[in-house]
Structure 1
Amino acid sequence: MSQRSLADRVTVPEVAVFVSGVVSMGIEILVGRVVAPEFGSSIFVWGSIIGVSLTALSVGYHYGGRRADEQATPGKIVRLLVYTAVYIGGLVWVGDPLLAAASTIPLPDRFASLPAVVAYLAVPTYILGFFSPYAAELLDAETVGGASGHVYAVGTIGSIVGAFGTTFVLIPAFATVTIELLFALLLLGTAFAISLTTTSGVDRHKTVTVVCAVSMLTVAPVAAPGAVDVVEEETGGIPGDTIHETQTQYQKLEIADRRGVRTMYLNGQPQSAMDLDDPYRHVFDYSRYMHLPFLFADDPDEIDRVLFVGGGGFTGPKHFVHEYDVTVDVAEVDPAVVRAGKQYFDVEESANLSIHTVGGRQYLQETETEYDLVVVDAFKKDQVPFQLTTREFMELAKERLSDDGILYMNVISAPSGSASQFYRAEYRTMETSFPHVYSFPTYGSGSHVQNIELVATKDPGVVTQSELTARNRDRDVGIDLADEIEPYRASEETGDVPVLRDDYAPVDEMLNEMAGRQYVVEGAPGMNATAGA
């Protein structure tokens, strides 16, 4: 007996439910990237995405199941595929203004992303929920249980393909609008293929006409980039002339020139800046504070090996190599950031500067190198990644430091008020691992959200503000730090905040207090931003 080919064995319901699984999981992951520049990628954002997706799917399952007895035909499946493609393809055109409009809805900060997530995700996911009950009804199975089990298995396999494919293949390779286009075309292609292979309830001529028309409308924005550019221009963007823009596997990266200053933005937040005429000028004032460890050390010449966790535009590493006789390692997790630093920010690896494309905590776990100074300057939008904030990380950094080693950490928070919770929790966490912790707000001691620089020392002796002032006067560290010493704080009230641990670090909850507040970045004009926006 001859065996049937795979094409003969695969049925219309199986193809439809597999594709619905691919698209439903793929679009869910993609929405996380779409809303991140506006709302971040906190636990609240991802909770909203998962919750909306599950709600829409469950409603689709319910109504699809009620209608499956009467409406489950290949022709109806073709129409549902086209409807979903139309919505997802429409996001290519109107996604940006839709996101901008959703962000204006006044809601408590933790729920701020919910309208945007609903607008992007609810309708297509609801429609995709119809496919499983329709497929179960159409399958030629001996039992209801057999049909249901087979449908769920095929749909889950599709979801697995959608999850891994979107995460590891599509997002690293394409812009979000291109991925939306690909999902829409996958749905349309499936509708077209079904219409050619079945006559049950399908008007082939009409279906082919509709599929071709929708395909052209969907492809148009990508084929004619000007249409998308108009939308982006109307909804605003980063200041200056954009010279480089890409969607990396971790974030959206943009580089813009404005008034002689080149700035790197990650998910819309300014991360590093370079004066094009004077590359070693500190554009952002907070970067000057990175030199403070050379005043905290008993002998600045003892700082010989330095690790930077986080690269960005490599402002700190470049200055250290240029001004001091030190060897610098940089752990930067995003290879696109490393490439951009080399191409646009004059970063060159050398005998004194090595760049490792790996996460900072992973690097510290794997390295056997002992450092005299570890500088943590890593951010995801305006948040220090959770895994770099906990007591376990502090202990790991302490183990990799020399006997008199120093840990320097740049955080974004407020020195006082309700938005200070994260700063004070980080201060308390560092105190559990180091004898002394000092802090330096960069924009006053009030409630403004700003960069706050934390210095933790292994030396049991206290370094007073007057000692720092004297050392600044007597030592040549390449920069006058008199103004940076002024906001010195050697203690902090931390009784009402927790020690951050790997198993309990409510960083998102604490940073939620910063949402909607102006984040003040002292330096280049036009660089102030809104924290949590």
Structure 2
Amino acid sequence: MGGVTGFARGVIRAQVGHGFAELVGDPDRPRGWTLLVDGTAQSHVDLDDPEHLEFEYVRRLAHVVDLMAPPLRPLRAMHLGGGAWTLPRYVAATRPGSAQQVVELDGELVDLVRSRLPADDPGLEVVVGDARAVLATARPAAADLVVLDVFAGARTPAHVTSVEFLELADAALAAGGVYAANVADGGALEFARGQVAAARAVFAHVAVVVAADVLHGRRFGNLVLVASQDPLPEAELARRAAADPFRATVLDDAETARFTRRAKPPHDREARPSPVPPLGVFGR
């Protein structure tokens, strides 16, 4: 880690390997922190309550986790993109004994999170490396859940957006396993439509959890893509998403087919990173 450069009024600042990180104290939660990298909000954690999920897209990912198996049953999870390990902490709290691997490219960011926001869970392994490269080395059928939440700055890199990448995720999943991804887009949602098309090219069942204003192009935001070779619990996922403070809808298999608008699934040769968010979005 490049060293903590400041601490004042609940803010910790540090130069890390791939940018400038800030941990900003939550005024409403004594041990709550928001992680920003180069001004983009990456994670929020509450060390006293790992089941508290501040970001709407993380809450939706947690709904997916909750519906994967009966309560308290451990899961084998692979989290591509670390941030402050919000979802892994949630899984550890709600499903003790889960075996989880977090993959984060920035080793100095990992050191910052370990030192300032420690997670005392023996089942949580943090690996420093490129998400796709580590996924390619995963044992076949070794995971129940693969989550993609990778950002370089405010954009998802192209090499984790292709059909070939999704084929690696599928190979890592056990029978009944689920792939879930945080997809950031706005406007006509061309990037998101391509990501759904890529998922439909690999998985038998695909759903999307999305707020109405994002779906209809009124704001830039997060869509949660969920895919599996087995049927997904779309109806229950829709009920939970509709009951959230920030309500969302769920597009089922038939609706995701229409959502793609004949978008072509991107392969490695034509894959592109996610679009740059407008200024002011995600804390920028």
TM-score range normalised by the length of the shorter chain: 0.7 to 0.9
Higher-Rg member (1/2) = 1
- Kept in 1: contact 2:75–2:99 (CA 8 A): yes
Identity value in percent: 23
The offset of 1:379, in angstroms, is 1.1
Q: How does 1:90-239 map to 2 (within 5 A)?
A: none
> SS of 2:271's equivalent?
coil
The offset of 1:269, in angstroms, is 0.2
One-letter amino acid of the structure 2 residue matched with residue 257 of structure 1: G
The offset of 1:496, in angstroms, is 5.0
One-letter amino acid of the structure 1 residue matched with residue 45 of structure 2: M
Match of 1:494 in 2: 260
| Alpha carbons of structure 1 residues 297 and 258: separation in structure 2 relative to 1, 3 Å | closer
- Structure 2 Cα separation of the partners of residues 439 and 413 of structure 1: 13
Match of 1:446 in 2: 216
The offset of 1:438, in angstroms, is 0.7
Match of 1:253 in 2: 21
Match of 1:337 in 2: 109
- Kept in 2: contact 1:443–1:450 (CA 8 A): no
- Greater length-normalized contact order (CA 8 Å, ≥ 6 residues apart): 2
| Alpha carbons of structure 1 residues 277 and 404: separation in structure 2 relative to 1, 3 Å | closer
TM-score of the two chains, using structure 2 as the length reference: 0.83
- Kept in 2: contact 1:468–1:485 (CA 8 A): no
Gaps of 5+ in 2: none
Aligned residue-pair number: 271
- 2:168 maps to 1:396: yes
Q: Deviations over 1:338-369 (max 9, x none)?
A: 1111122222351x111111121111111226
Match of 2:132 in 1: 361
- Kept in 2: contact 1:244–1:254 (CA 8 A): yes
One-letter amino acid of the structure 2 residue matched with residue 262 of structure 1: W
| Alpha carbons of structure 1 residues 311 and 507: separation in structure 2 relative to 1, 3 Å | closer
- Kept in 2: contact 1:294–1:303 (CA 8 A): no
- Structure 2 Cα separation of the partners of residues 258 and 363 of structure 1: 33
| Alpha carbons of structure 1 residues 272 and 240: separation in structure 2 relative to 1, 3 Å | farther
The offset of 1:304, in angstroms, is 2.3
| Alpha carbons of structure 1 residues 328 and 436: separation in structure 2 relative to 1, 3 Å | same
Gaps of 5+ in 1: 1-171, 176-224, 230-238, 473-479, 520-527
Which of the residues 252, 263, 270 maps onto 1:504?
A: 270
Which of the residues 431, 444, 447 maps onto 2:200?
A: 431
- Kept in 1: contact 2:71–2:95 (CA 8 A): no
RMSD (Å) for aligned C-alpha atoms: 3.1
The offset of 1:468, in angstroms, is 4.1
> SS of 2:267's equivalent?
coil
| Alpha carbons of structure 1 residues 355 and 443: separation in structure 2 relative to 1, 3 Å | farther
The offset of 1:442, in angstroms, is 4.4
One-letter amino acid of the structure 2 residue matched with residue 430 of structure 1: A
> SS of 1:495's equivalent?
coil
The offset of 1:372, in angstroms, is 0.6
- 2:85 maps to 1:317: no
| Alpha carbons of structure 1 residues 367 and 265: separation in structure 2 relative to 1, 3 Å | same
One-letter amino acid of the structure 2 residue matched with residue 451 of structure 1: N
- Structure 1 Cα separation of the partners of residues 13 and 40 of structure 2: 15
- Structure 2 Cα separation of the partners of residues 279 and 294 of structure 1: 14
- Structure 2 Cα separation of the partners of residues 337 and 174 of structure 1: 11
- Kept in 1: contact 2:50–2:93 (CA 8 A): no
Match of 2:12 in 1: 243
- Structure 2 Cα separation of the partners of residues 443 and 264 of structure 1: 27
- Kept in 2: contact 1:425–1:499 (CA 8 A): yes
Greater per-residue strand proportion = 2
Q: Deviations over 1:218-264 (max 9, x none)?
A: xxxxxxx9xxx9xxxxxxxxx97431321x33222222224144211
